[in-house]
Amino acid sequence: MKIIFAGTPEFAAVALQALHEAGFEIPLVLTQPDRPAGRGLQLHASSVKQYALAHGIEVLQPLSLRLDSKDPERAAQAAVAHARLLATDYDVMVVAAYGLILPRSTLDIKPCINIHGSLLPRWRGAAPIHRAIETGDLETGVTIMEMEEGLDTGPMLLMERVAILPTDTTATLHDTLAALGARMIVEALRARAAGALHPVPQPADGVTYAAKISKEEAALDFSLSSNELARKIRAFNPFPGAHTELNGVIIKIWGAEALEAGSDAPPGQVLAADAQHGIIVACRQGTLRLTELQKPGGKRLPAAEFLKGFPLDGLSLD
């Protein structure tokens, strides 16, 4: 079976590696254009591009696949990509966190199969891992699905569930689901080749949407409950990183523990900040023990180490 692979971040690169190592022929990879990153804002290739180039696979990086784009440059690049797809001998396109919309003109060439990091129809959209943790879901998983023009609306081919652990962050759950999705897409394509893959329509009930994560969401609001805040901190680790403000200084919060004990203090008030108790902050309901923090330009530190250079006792977090 010959595959065109479309994906961009590490989640997709894990699947690309699994397909390549399983012996599938991959004549072409689509990935997003190189983006500036790091302090010097130098252009960096995506994880998928890096893997493809290291293994001699041709890479195409169009800005868009929409032939009807009103932007002349995007439309021109889409036309080149469309012609390349038409000229390539392949059986199916596998898509994983590509980041570009596949228009009807692309979907009509050959079947397109997507690796999606949720239990569809829950958490369709851009940030299913973040939203599952933030909302407090007890489980999630991976769905292998056929693609259509709707947002993650296509029929399901395979689904597997995993528990969301109380200690899971987006980083740890991402790695779990990336490995699961990689194994499942290999299984799905082998089953497809054997005629044993049967699409099932998604249920009409239970649809939720995982909106793209914004940096503004990462500012902690201590008028929420401690449980809500602890979930947000886990959900926004590693990106964009939950934070709070103290006397105009932005403090990143990478780890926290929700405590049931309440307080009459106003939300955001630091109730304790010492080696014995850690950093405990009042919330609307319950209290929050901050366990890992980072000041601007510094390293992530356990609370006790952080306090040696940044005393907090009696202050209020915004």
* Binding site listing for (6S)-5,6,7,8-tetrahydrofolate: 118-121
- Kindly calculate the radius of gyration of the chain based on its CA atoms and give it in whole angstroms: 22
Residue 61: closest CA among 23, 88, 30: 30
Measured CA to CA, the distance from residue 119 to residue 95 in angstroms comes to 17
| Amino acid, single-letter form, for residue 166 | P
Question: For residues 287 and 271, is the Cβ–Cβ distance under 8 A?
Answer: yes
Q: How far apart are the first and last CA of the chain?
A: 56
| Residues of each annotated binding site | 118-121
Three-class SS state of 263: coil
| Amino acid, single-letter form, for residue 314 | G
Three-class SS state of 48: helix
Cα-Cα-Cα-Cα dihedral sign, residues 112, 113, 117, 119: positive
For 199, the token pair is 């699409």
Residue with tokens 């800005």, as numbered in its chain: 63
Measured CA to CA, the distance from residue 234 to residue 255 in angstroms comes to 7
- Residue 15 has a CB neighbour count (10 Å cut-off) of 25
**Phi, psi angles (nearest 5°) of residue 264:** -85, -5
